[in-house]
Amino acid sequence: MSEVTEKKKTAIKGGEWLIKTTEPSDIFIPEEWSEEHKMIAKSAQDFLEAEVFPHLDRIDDQEEGLMASLLDKAGELGMLGLSVPEELGGLGMDFKTSMLGAEVFGPGHSFSVAYSCHTGIGTLPILYYGNEEQKKKYIPGLASGQLKSSYCLTEPSAGSDANSGKTTAKLTEDGKHYLITGQKMWITNAGFADLFTVFAKIDDDKDLSAFIVEKGYGGITLNPEEKKMGIKGSSTRQVFFNDCKVPVENLLSQRGNGFKIALNILNIGRIKLGGGAVGGNKDLINHSVKYALERNQFGRSISKYGAIRYKLAEQTIQTFVAECSIYRATQNIQDAIDALTADGMDKNKATLKGIEQYAAECAMMKVLASDALDYVVDESVQIHGGMGYSAETRVERAYRDARINRIFEGTNEINRMLIVDMLIRKAMKGELDLMGPAMSVANELMSIPESPEDDGKPMFEERMLVENFKKCVLMVAGAAAQKLSQTLAKEQEVMMNIADMAIWTYASESAILRTLKLMEMKGEDAAKDQIAMTKTWLYDTTDRMNKAGKDAINSFVEGDELRMMMMGLKRFTKHAPFNPKNARQQVALSLIEAGKYCY
């Protein structure tokens, strides 16, 4: 049996991690990158070191032509077409490799925004939804950088509620063109884009349609560059369309399919943003460790002080856990794509279908990693002290640049609510059996608890704790779905509690799985820091799970049922004694010895 067929047979579908067991062999970990992958990462890192980092002030000043020239140079290296098929001018790499590209370019400040926009929302709608003529006409230029792209979805009155946009498309009398009229805002790369993917409603359609619009079509005007808190070098403008004449053959996909296109492309953008945030975290930790080693106070390097070591270790723990989670989800998506392709599905359709299956996980990765980035960048400034507040340091710029990531690709609040909504919808469609396991947990609350017998495998207590985390999620989500029913979507605080619990559970299991796989590959001693990070994360997460569960339950349950569920929550979030200080010290010492992020 082939490897692809085997994976197809055993792969866990989107959301099933909550009710099924995942084995370490089922996931991908960064320690498994091939030499080819490492060469791609090295090439991208060298590009940042040579072309981006020395010119950050010039980039932020939006020097005329500079950002476009950087995209040209990235195109010459093949970095704009990692996942574009070779016959269309790309490198033809898989989804997992494109995630590596997103991670390595993550520290690139404003350049990383221009890069991710061009290669993601700028290119992928045409690559995945364009017909053969459209792909042949535009994709080679996008892969080389000859064409620069932008994505026009958001409007002044249509942000998170994208389908409420008011931009219109009217068919001309001769039936040969659409006249597009409307206003788009917060459009990345707008200042130098040659192509715009524009979302508009044809006549009185309920749903959006999408169009490929060339800048040269006319009827397009741009407002001046927006003045922003951060990512100042990223071109961000309002774009106005006034009877912009677009050939009918530039309708992307089918009429009314624009909203689906937007949603699926955003799914990709969300997990890619998570990858970029992980890359940014690693870079910031490198700067923090370097400064901690160089800075002396009270006659000692500040790297010797417990408060600093705590910060370095916690930055690293959150980064490690986010990385474990993102590449686990990435491998799931890759396995789904491979299985669908093996069944004969077109690769582009298989990619969209595979990613759509893990839409909830994509949203989870966006929230987890962008929240971690905000912690890491904040503590990087703190470690640098007064110098961290100076514009002479990279961390000051990073502090401002990082903040957008909790807003990009749908706010973290919207994404949290989407996570719960998507999982419940899967359950309602019969694609995911959540209610059966939720009922089992409810029944378990009525019985005398039994302690599971140690199976002799590594990290038994930690694995059992994650199984209990899953019970917490099922208990709270099941009760909420049953009691709140149609009004659950309006109970946003409860939705966000459940989403956080799901994210932390997935992240906890991902960290355990990576650590176990590393132990199998290299031995327990070689994985001692990963064991320490995983145990520390679980120790802290146990209290977070308890608090979020209590907040949710207290919002909609009363009386004896409330007391029963509170007892269950207490049982499921019980943690053995653990010394987090020693574990963090161990991790911090490894960082200090290496002089950088070393995992």
454: exposed, middle or buried (Cβ count in 10 Å: 0-12, 13-18, 19+): exposed
Query: Longest C-alpha distance within the chain, in Å?
Result: 81
Strand partners, 97: none
Residues 220, 213: contact at Cβ < 8 Å? yes
Q: Is 462 a catalytic residue?
A: no
Polymer length of the chain: 599
In one-letter notation, the amino acid at residue 374 is D
The secondary element (H helix, E strand) that includes residue 244 is strand 236-247
What is the spatial distance between Cα 202 and Cα 168, in angstroms, rounded to a whole number? Answer: 6
Tokens 């370490």 correspond to what residue?
24
In one-letter notation, the amino acid at residue 310 is Y
What is the spatial distance between Cα 11 and Cα 124, in angstroms, rounded to a whole number? Answer: 26
Q: Is the dihedral of CA 91, 95, 96, 100 positive or negative?
A: positive
In three-state secondary structure terms, 242 is strand
Residues 221, 272: contact at Cβ < 8 Å? no
What is the spatial distance between Cα 66 and Cα 191, in angstroms, rounded to a whole number? Answer: 12
**Structure token digits, residue 393:** 């340091």
**CA 536 to chain centroid:** 23
In three-state secondary structure terms, 412 is helix
Which residues of 135-219 form beta strands (DSSP E)? 149-152, 168-171, 177-188, 195-202, 209-214
Residues 361, 344: contact at Cβ < 8 Å? no
User: Residues 409, 462, 491, 509: which is the catalytic one?
Assistant: 409
- CB neighbourhood size of 299 (10 A): 5
In three-state secondary structure terms, 598 is coil
Q: Is the dihedral of CA 266, 271, 274, 275 positive or negative?
A: negative
Four-CA torsion 367, 373, 378, 384, nearest 10 degrees: 170
Q: Would you name the residues annotated as active-site residues? A: 409
